[in-house]
């Protein structure tokens, strides 16, 4: 492994593509290898032990491809496996967490809604984050929401109904910020924004990529000037799964 090696990114599927897009936007000259574990998705409703085993297996595959850093482009995988992976691996491991800290500065007496998977919200890691920055945060677990993104059904009436039901308790309340604590939901940002047109909707993608950049720089692992970047996208699932990843990668925005 050296600076010419790719950066590995993993998620249970399409959500991590939103992180990959941000990485390519901010560091277009790098080499990326994205792995969507769609065969084993979703992660968010599985136990810690199950997610840890799945992420370990996916990481072994990426290590066999000689990655120079690992990005857990998934809040659930980070909550369930980042600590263990940091102990086990010698390459840098960059994780994600719901953007509770920046959201806490937007507090104006209302609520801060944190949308994430049940796995993330029930994790010890999130508990710690929330005890520090989540005084006004309300956990909104969204089992079943990532599936709409995987199916690419952004105009599916069932998705609108899901969101209507999800937000019903908060429609009359003051909502100061909405935190997208799952990378899949980033693809639903404009849809979610429609329910709360004046409320900031935050995700952790840019912060994660900036952290990746800092870590690579500090270890002299940025791709040297003159080398060309590339993006490779792979899936543990079917060719249809892989097509979803490519389609979302090509989607403008």
Of 12 and 104, nearer to ligand DGL (C-beta) is 12
Positions in the binding site for ligand DGL (CB under 6 A): 11-12, 15, 41-44, 74-76, 117, 120, 146, 182-184
**Rounded CA separation 36/39 (Å):** 8
Q: What values do phi and psi take at 65, rounded to 5?
A: -100, 10
Q: What values do phi and psi take at 126, rounded to 5?
A: -70, -35
Contact 69, 30 (CB under 8 A): no
**Rounded CA separation 243/167 (Å):** 31
Of 75 and 199, nearer to ligand DGL (C-beta) is 75
* Shortest-Cβ-distance residue relative to ligand DGL: 44
Of 6 and 44, nearer to ligand DGL (C-beta) is 44
The helix (run of H) or strand (run of E) holding residue 51 is helix 48-64
Residues belonging to the active site: 74, 182
Contact 47, 79 (CB under 8 A): no
Of 20 and 221, nearer to ligand DGL (C-beta) is 20
Pairing assessment for the beta strands 31-36 and 69-72 based on DSSP bridges: unpaired
Burial (CB count within 10 angstroms: exposed 0-12, middle 13-18, buried 19+), residue 64: exposed
Taking the CA atoms of 71, 60, 82 and 236 in sequence, report the sign of the dihedral they define: positive
Task: Supply the minimum distance, in Å, between the C-beta of residue 55 and ligand DGL.
Answer: 11
Of 66 and 147, nearer to ligand DGL (C-beta) is 147
* DSSP track, 115-142: EE-HHHHTSHHHHHHHHHH-TTEEEEE-
């Amino acid at each position: 492994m050296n600076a010419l090696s790719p950066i590995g990114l993993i998620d249970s599927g399409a959500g991590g593509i939103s992180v990959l897009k941000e990485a390519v936007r901010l560091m277009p000259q790098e080499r990326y290898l994205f792995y969507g574990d769609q065969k084993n998705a979703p992660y968010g409703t599985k136990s810690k032990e199950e997610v840890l085993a799945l992420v370990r297996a996916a990481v072994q595959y990426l290590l066999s491809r000689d990655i120079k850093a690992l990005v857990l482009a998934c809040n659930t995988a980070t909550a369930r496996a980042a600590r263990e992976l940091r102990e086990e691996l010698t390459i840098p491991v960059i994780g994600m967490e719901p953007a509770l800290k920046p959201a806490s500065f937007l507090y104006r007496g209302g609520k801060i809604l944190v949308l994430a998977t049940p796995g993330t919200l029930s994790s010890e890691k999130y508990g710690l984050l929330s005890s520090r920055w989540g005084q006004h945060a309300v956990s909104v677990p969204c089992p079943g929401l990532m599936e709409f993104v995987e199916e690419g059904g952004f105009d599916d009436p069932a998705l609108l109904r899901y969101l209507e039901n999800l937000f019903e308790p908060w429609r009359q309340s003051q909502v100061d910020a909405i935190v997208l604590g799952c990378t899949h939901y980033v693809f639903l940002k404009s849809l979610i924004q429609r329910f709360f047109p004046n409320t900031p909707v935050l995700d952790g993608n840019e912060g994660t990529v900036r952290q990746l950049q800092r870590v690579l720089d500090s270890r002299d692992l940025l791709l040297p000037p003159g080398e060309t970047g590339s993006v490779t996208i792979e899936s543990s699932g079917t060719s249809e799964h892989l097509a979803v990843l490519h389609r979302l990668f090509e989607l403008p925005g």
